Structure 1
Amino acid sequence: MELASAKAKRVYKVVLTGGPCGGKTTGQSRLCTFFENLGWKVFRVPETASTLLSGGVKFADLSPEDAITFQENLLKTMIQMENTFFALAEHFNRDCIIICDRGTMDASAFVSKEVWEQLMKTNGWNPVELRDTRYNQIIHMVSAAKGAEDFYTTEDHSCRSENLDLAHTLDDRAAEAWIGHPYFDVIDNSTNFDTKLRRMISAVCQRMGLDTGDRLETNAKKFKFLVRSLPDDSMFPPFEDFDVIHDYLQTNSKKTQARLRKRGQKDRWSYTLTVRRPEVRGQVVEIKTQITSRDYTNMLEQRDPFHLTILKKRRCFLYHNQYFQLDIYKEPCHPRCHGLVLLETYTTQSLEEFQANKLPDFLDIVDNVTGDPTHSMYNLSLKEEWLNNKKFCFKLAADDEDDLTGSPRTNGWIGPHVNGV
């Protein structure tokens, strides 16, 4: 007999919506990694429209009647895809979050009110079920066309051609489609993009009642510490271990940095491409994309011959309500990485306060290496010996490690992902 006090498994369904170039795809990736680090099972529902449009459908080729039929079938496809993930989550044996790239009500933004009402009547749908009871929370990521115009782009997006004015209009329509949902949060462009994503993750955690400490605060700072050796696993609080593989890719410009990441548990993997581009108006532009295993395999052919593959075991745990990420470097690697263990976290406290109150006392911490270029992953992966590489001392103005919300940290705007945001 199950005790009444036993913790019930949770299934949380969240929709990321918004206008073009608002950060949905990058946000989905960040949210995914954040909850994986907490030990949750994460399901990602892809954007149905992008899936269908990438198959060759063009609205310009459709008659008005065909366009309505397409929207109806799109919505039916979306509902079935979501229902598949919802059913899987209900039968999974741990807490699950389902992140939907757009939701059912988004379809109403692309048809007239009369057509929408007819679709509701024909299919026996109603807004209460499609909007209010289907999802736990709606997050509207405001388009860069509204408040971050310099970062709005349609580059490299085969399914996007909207100019600023149209993007502005579509953003308004997407927001209006969800008015009435009991848990509807709007994440605007009043901050840089990195902070925008932190605000988004914080909004989800607050609605869920999760205590995240201060690592999502906008004034949180990243600290990195060198650890001498590891204690027995029994000394740790509850933790999740991940295998992580990083590879740097060749790029067309010395100012552009591209990195592949393969991350997983028990031979279940996720794949991410991160591209850091030259500054825009003094701010770093970074694009983070969730990719398929096939894309990952193909992109590995572009590995930078001057960099070694980085292999890590990443251990995530909470200690005194502080979230930590412990990276344990594994062989084969450059001799400089042998036995290397780095502890990372974010906090609003000063270094002195943090070291006095929050550092895990069961770890043998050698030194604070925050901002030290000799401990950046980019430099650690170099094949050359640093003494023979005079450029090394001037390389990498920003730290390129994965931060604890799931994306590399920079000090400026991280540009919205240009493929399906």
Structure 2
Amino acid sequence: MIRKVTLLAIIIFINISFAQWERVSTRYTGTLGKMAIFNGFVYAYGDSVGTTTVFLRSGDQGNTWDDFSAGMPDELFFLHEHNGELMGMFFGSNVGNALMVSADNGESWTTRSSFSIDGGAVLSLHSDGTILYALSNREKIFRSTDNGATWTEFVVSYDGAPQRVGLDFAAIGDIWVYIGLNLGAVISTDGGATWAANNPQFAIGSVNVVNGEFYGATYGMYKLDAANQWVLYNNGWPGSAPFWATGKSVSSNGQTVFAYAQGLFEASVYQSNDAGNSWSTVATGLPTSGTLGLNDFLVADQHYAYCYYRSLNAAEFGIYRAQLSPTAIADDKTALPGEFKLAQNYPNPFNPSTTISYHLPNANRVKLSVYDMLGREIQTLVNEQQNAGQHTVQFDAQQLPSGVYFYSIDAGNFQATRKMLLIE
């Protein structure tokens, strides 16, 4: 994952709109502070002083934060959700370079596997929904089909020379995109056997997968088309600052793209409803003076967005939150066998009960909840590990007043919200 002072961005597909940013924590999580979401919890982590890990967790959408820093086994570099498990990449004198997993939402950790990289370390995790990948900061990529218990090693070699410093990685099947320092994107179309450099005018600095497509960013946001060519995706971007895509992607069946751009003294979140042809600012309230900018950005659920904001002004840095208003809900689409889908409830309008259906392409931990117009959680319908396939659940609203309600699903990297109407 790349970290530069000059720019940063993330791509998120979802149909929601932003309100005002508010600071919900003043904790400093270091120059490379990151955020993550898992099982309804929001995480903020990094190193505040040297190799001292800061590890914070919120179970109430950022209102309060629990500090588990003292119990961390070593320095945490990366959090990742894969097949319903919370995973962390650690590196330090206590555990070495280890992939560790937590069965209690980050309160304790056990080692699943370890790495030994000559002159480097594995510092990040990536997945395509079924296969887990580990990226080293040297020329090696590791692939696991058993949730990180065992690994197969691949060396990224271009023009006969290994690409020594790996910055980012993404995969969809046999198409792999590796980001190397001072090189940009190197792509393999045969599952890591051969590689070729592939960049637009400027080298791609980071890569992300959203809704089954690769997105890369440099001085602009690009999408990799069917011919494996980068196509500019941000025509009409309101600012001139360069930016990268990074962090955790969250996708649904929505049509809106969210991105953030970071310059030396400004950072803003934008949205596009027309495939990047025009952009508009979607939130206000982030600091504008003495700013280094956003370190990581994500939609934690369908109700709030969070970012860790690192500023030159100590009075400004911390964790910020913006409330999301589910004013536009995704159109109903037929799910293909390999797709996530949250269907429209039936009947709708309803009285007093209705059926909610969803499709999982692979096993995942699923949380399905109902919210009122103010974003308050009314009822949790599902909160468990589930197998791939079609699922249905009944929602009984006989104790609730008439009105508009929303149901939201969180299943790994998939999140979606739909609207329903209760009529009595």
Structure (1/2) with the larger helix percentage: 1
TM-score over 0.5 for the pair: no
Of Structure 1 and Structure 2, the greater strand share is in 2
Q: Structure 1-normalised TM-score? A: 0.25
- Ranked by relative contact order (alpha carbons within 8 Å, sequence separation 6 or more), the top structure is 1
